[in-house]
Amino acid sequence: MNTPEVVGGLHAVEALLSHGAERVKRIQVAAGAADARVAAVATRARALGISVERVQRERLERAAGGLRHQGVLAWVKPRDRATEVDLADRVAAGATLLLALDGVTDPHNLGACLRSADAAGAAAVIVPRDRSAQLTPAAAKAASGAAETVPVVAVANLARTLRQLRDQGFWVVGLAGDTGGTLYDLDLTVPTVLVLGAEGEGLRRLTREHCDHLAAIPMLGTVGSLNVSVATGIALFEAVRQRQAAIRRGRAQ
């Protein structure tokens, strides 16, 4: 029997009620909480037939186990893990923007990258099955609800997956600070996989070898690198910017 996961935070619980209410077993809210959004979450959960219990904040803190909860916790059935078949289905359905993370081990960074992926309309986040952060409750909390809309696909061999995506017509673009070309020199309007590595270590050699292009984010100050979640946001939204500009040009013609 699967042990229920604990999900905390307003964004994450609101997203669960919108996109995964069937997984929610029960909700606890802090007694006396005056936040209107907490009250709205409780009202919506009850309307969906989900049990809502008001408990003392100290009890909520213990149940959260260090998770930042903002006065609300949900006990949920663990989600079915996304598989390489799910990734193939998304590609077959017309996905044109994917994010791959190579060696990102901090679940909070994974969650922040997932949040940016959702905001930019990326169809999936791809991570290696080993030596990588997975979609834990901490990562889901950092994703602020994006874990309910963008699948995190753990693959056995990232290099092989990138090669398969290249064969399917994707350009694979790896971000690396030690290359001459910049992200802004590339055409990201075509089907694209953006690949980012952990801060400091960067992309592994085999991952780099399976990229069509390596590109850097121009650094004009004194720091030498950016946190992976910041770099992810920049890269994804450069793709968004280019694609929206291409749409506007098409309408103007």
Binding site: what residues are annotated?
197, 217, 226
Both tokens of 96, joined, read: 């044109």
Residues 6+ apart with CB under 8 A from 253: none
27-42 b/e (C-beta count within 10 Å ≥ 16 → b): bbbbeebeeeebeebb
Alpha-carbon gap, residue 82 to 130, rounded angstroms: 15
H/E run at residue 75 = strand 72-76
β pairing state of 72-76 and 5-8: antiparallel
SS3 (DSSP) at 181 = coil
**How far separated are the first and last CA of the chain, in Å rounded?**
59
Residue ranges at the known binding site for S-adenosyl-L-methionine? 197, 217, 226
Q: Which helix (H) or strand (E) holds 227?
A: none
